[in-house]
Amino acid sequence: MPDRILQAISRQTIDHRGPDFAEVGRTALEGMKRIFKTESSVIIYPSSGTGAWEAALVNTLSPGDKVLMYETGHFAATWSSLAKKIGLDAEVIGGDWRAGADPDLICERLKQDSGHEIRAVCVVHNETSTGSVSPIAEIRKAIDEANHPALFLVDTISGLASIDLCFDAWGIDVCIAGSQKGLMLPPGLSFNAISEKALAAHKSASLQRSYWDWSDMLGPNSKGFFPYTPATNLLYGLNEAIEMLEEEGLDNVFARHARHGAATRSAVKTWGLDVLCARQGQESGVLTAVVMPDGHSADAFRNTALQSFDISLGNGLSKVADRVFRIGHLGDFNDLMLSATLAGVEMSLARAGVPHNEGGVQTAMNQLK
C-alpha cells in the first residue's frame, strides 16, 4: 500500500453522524462514480467483496429466480454457489478456466430462453484465480443481440482501477468491487454500482435483505451519510486512492497494468513455462497465473520462494490447487518492483529445481527499458 494511503487511514476517526463527515462521505461516493465511469449511484459497504456479491443478488432478484452464470474460474464458481445458497436457480455455463466468458455461448443460451426465465447474467470481469479477462462490452452486445431483458451483473472486484471498465457505456446493471485489489487499500470496503434498470428491479425484488438494502443506503448517501457505521478510516484511504488514480490518469493506470502483464508473460515464455490463460487478448494485466511443469508442486515452489527471498506468490485455488502459482502485478506497482518480482521467481525456479530456461528477467527488462 502506498504511504499516502497509509497516512490518510491513520487520521483520527471522526463522528460519522457529525457535520464534518458529510464531506468525507460525499467525496468517496462521488469519486467512485468517476472510477466506475457512471452517472448513477454507487453504494459503499463496510465488508469484503463477498458481501457486495450477495448485495448485488439480494437487491435485484426474488427467490427461485434463474440466473445465468459463467464459470471462468474459482471466483465465478464461488459466486454461483453463493447464489444457490441464497435461493436462486443458478445455471452455470462451464469453462475450462483458461479464458474469459464466451459472448457467443451466452447469446446462444439467451436466444433459447424465449420465455425470459433468466433474470440476470453474471460474469466475472477479471478472474483472479486464472488471470483471464472477460470481454464485458462484447457480452453486453451478446445480450442485446439475443434481445433479452436480463440484468447484467459484473464482478470487477480485481478489475476495477486496473483494467478499463465503463459502467454506463457498456450497459452494466450492477458492478461489484472491493477495496483491497486495484484500489490499493486494505480489505474492508466493497461496492455496488447500480443502473436505473437495476434500481427498478430492486423495487420488486423479494429476496430477504436488511444489511445490504440499497434503499436504506441511498437516502442518507444523498447527504454524504450512511445508515449504519461506515468504515470511516478506510473512506479516508479511499479518497486518497481516488486522488492518486486521477493524478496518474486512469488511462495511464490501465496502460501500466497492461505493460506489466505483457512483460511478465514474456518472462514466463522465456522460462519455457505456460501461462494459464490460453486465449490471446484475454490475458490479465492484474496478475499472471503460471502452470507448473508436470510432476512439480506449485505450493512447494511457492514455499521455496517465500523462505528464500521473502516473496509471496499467489496459490492455485480449488481446481488448479498446487498446479499453478500467481504473480500479482496490480495496484501500487512499478517497473523496478516487477523486475525484482520476476528475479525472485527466476531464482526460486532454480532453487526449487523446476526445469526452466534462464533469461526471463532479461526478456522482461528488454520490454520495460
Ligand X SMILES: *Cc1c(COP(=O)(O)O)cnc(C)c1O
For ligand X, the binding residues (CB under 6 A) are 48-50, 75, 124, 128, 155, 157-158, 178, 181, 187
Least CB distance to ligand X at residue 156 (A): 8
Q: Which residues pair with 193 in a beta bridge?
A: 42, 175
Least CB distance to ligand X at residue 178 (A): 4
The one-letter code for the residue type at 128 is T
- Would you say 178 or 285 has its CB closer to ligand X? 178
Least CB distance to ligand X at residue 208 (A): 20
Least CB distance to ligand X at residue 114 (A): 32
- Would you say 190 or 266 has its CB closer to ligand X? 190
Least CB distance to ligand X at residue 314 (A): 10
Least CB distance to ligand X at residue 144 (A): 24
CB 67 within 8 A of CB 61: yes
- Would you say 131 or 344 has its CB closer to ligand X? 131
CB 212 within 8 A of CB 59: yes
- Would you say 276 or 343 has its CB closer to ligand X? 276
Q: Which residue's Cβ has the minimum distance to ligand X?
A: 49
Q: How far apart are the C-alpha atoms of 308 and 344, rounded to whole Å? A: 9
Sheet strands (E) in the chain = 41-45, 66-71, 89-94, 118-124, 126-127, 132-133, 151-155, 174-178, 190-194, 274-275, 287-291, 314-315, 324-328
- Would you say 60 or 162 has its CB closer to ligand X? 162
- Would you say 77 or 364 has its CB closer to ligand X? 77
Output the CA torsion sign for 312, 313, 314, 316.
Answer: negative
Burial letters 126-160, b for 16+ CB under 10 A, else e: bbbbbbbbbbbebbbebbeebebebbbbbbbbbbb
**What region, left, alpha or beta, does residue 237 occupy, with left being phi > 0 and alpha being psi -120 to 50 degrees?**
alpha
Least CB distance to ligand X at residue 142 (A): 21
Cα separation values, 245 from 31, 37, 40, 154, 234, Å: 10, 13, 20, 22, 16
- Would you say 45 or 271 has its CB closer to ligand X? 45
